[in-house]
Amino acid sequence: MKTTKTTITKLFAVLAISASFLASCSSDDNKVVEEVIEEPSSTFSANPADFQGMINDGEVTLDATKVYKLTGKLQVNNGATLTIPAGTKIEGTGGTSAYIAIAQGGKINVNGTATAPVIMTSASATPTGGNWGGLVICGKAPINRVNGVVSTAQSEVADLTYGGSVSDDNSGSINYLVVAYAGASFSATKEFNGISFFGVGSGTKVNFVQSIHGADDGFEFFGGTVNTSNLISVGNEDDQFDWTEGWNGTNTNWYGKIAYGKGNRGIEADNYEFGFPNTPISNPTITNITLVGPGSGASATDYAENQAFKFRRGTKSIVSNAAISGWKTGIDVENDETLSFMGTLLKVSDVSFADVTNKSTGKKTDGTPAAATAVFTENAAATGAGNGLNTPTWAAGWTLAF
């Protein structure tokens, strides 16, 4: 085919127009993308002076340069995420009506560091336990309130659903967090703790956390499969650590200490109060633990139980490398189901005792005494949480003084 000069000129003109059109579209496309990125990821706006409300969507990231006054309930719902940068401080001002709750499907990411932990504490100039409610996390991992079947329940505080069948459920990650002066005990079945884990799954990461001077337990696990490492629980007014409802988790480096004339036990451990043999059976492992009590001669008026470990209501647990000091009873085992596990599925191996009146005691379900020496093996050189009875080196720098 013969191509004339005129035809070639027209062809170049068409190509030039097409290139210009494509460039224009490309420029417009880039502009649209930039506008989408700049839009807020959540409809919730965090007000540092009045930090409360419902986070229903997207991700809310706090500003570490601001102090957030927690004035009521802050709830993170399904599909939403609360991210707290290193060095952020949150101060509770509303008593136990002020707390942070993570619902099933919601997430909390606490991104503290060893030099800049996240602090959740009281706003009071003279703080005390119960100044605010604490942190509540609800997941979809198994609980045992109904024997042997997938079940859910409502959390004793926040009234949120927890439990299910998702063992690896992910409620976020918590690193280098201090929770201080939280908690409250309203009744035998309604208690705020420093941190309450309700059916929290193993996809949730919990490392380097301190719960201190709370009005009830430091940490409590209601079923679930969450694992933890490097926990500090000091001066909480009931138990330093507590579990029930079929919790199964792998744990390393726990340090607990009774302080200021308050508290009962180092650990209170149950399977389920209203069904001792219910499955899944509580069966956590703890490697490296120190529990420091008030002294073996401390008055029962001030310390209701004075026990380092209380295993009852059908729980199992394997504990190794334990240093315990200052307790009237080192290890107490109660109820027939729990006693039957001693020495195999329930055991504290390599434990050192200092200022402990009774190394172990036992009691059957009917109240009659039972031997419990099979529950432990002794090792005077046990290092516990890493530094014997002293503050572990891994707690230095980021924790509140204790």
CA distances from 332 to 8, 216, 250, 269, 359 (A): 97, 21, 22, 10, 9
Cβ neighbours of 390 (radius 10 Å): 14
Query: Would 10 be classed as within a structural domain?
Result: no
**Phi/psi at 27 (nearest 5 deg)?**
-65, -40
Domain contains 237? yes
Does the pLDDT at position 91 exceed 80? Answer: yes
Which tens digit of pLDDT belongs to each residue from 215-245? Answer: 999 999 999 999 999 999 999 999 999 999 9
Structure confidence at residue 2 (pLDDT): 36
The band of 20, judged by pLDDT with boundaries at 50, 70 and 90, is: very low
DSSP state of 31: H
pLDDT single digits (tens) 322-336: 999 999 999 999 999
pLDDT band at 99 (very low <50, low <70, confident <90, very high): very high
Using the predicted structure, report yes or no on whether residue 304 has a pLDDT greater than 60: yes
Residue 4 has pLDDT above 60, yes or no: no
Separation CA 141–CA 203 (nearest Å): 10
As a whole number of Å, the CA-based R_g of the chain is: 27
pTM comes to 0.89
> Per the structure block, which two tokens stand in for 341?
């596990």
- Looking at the predicted structure, is the pLDDT value of residue 300 above 70? no
Each residue of 349-395: pLDDT tens digit?
999 999 999 999 999 999 999 999 999 999 999 999 999 999 999 99
Domain annotation covers residue 24 = no
Q: Tell me if 292 is assigned to some domain.
A: yes
In-domain check, residue 19: no
Going by the DSSP 8-state scheme, the letter that residue 186 receives in this structure is E
Q: Is residue 347 assigned to a domain? A: yes
**How does the average pLDDT of the chain come out, rounded?**
90
In a domain, 256, yes or no: yes
For residue 156, what pLDDT is reported?
86
Whether 137 has a pLDDT exceeding 70, the answer reads yes
**DSSP H or E stretch at residue 24:** helix 5-38
Contacts 24+ apart (CB under 8 A), 302-306: 302/261, 302/262, 303/258, 303/261, 303/263, 303/264, 304/264, 305/264, 305/265, 306/264, 306/265
pLDDT of residue 42: 96
Q: Span 258-265, mean pLDDT?
A: 81
CB 130 within 8 A of CB 121: no
pLDDT of 162 > 90? The answer is: yes
> Does position 1 have pLDDT exceeding 90, yes or no?
no
Q: What pLDDT sits at residue 122?
A: 97
Note the pLDDT of residue 184.
Answer: 73
pLDDT confidence tier of residue 96, bands split at 50, 70 and 90: confident
What CATH number has the domain bearing residue 209? Answer: 2.160.20
Q: What is the mean pLDDT of residues 87-105?
A: 95
pLDDT of 27 higher than 50: no
Question: Considering the domain boundaries, does residue 37 fall inside one?
Answer: no
Q: What percentage of the chain exceeds 90 in pLDDT?
A: 82
Domain containing 304: what range? 51-395
Between 118 and 9, where is the model more confident? 118
**Minimal CA–CA distance to 119: which of 178, 198, 162, 36?**
178
Domain count, the chain: 1
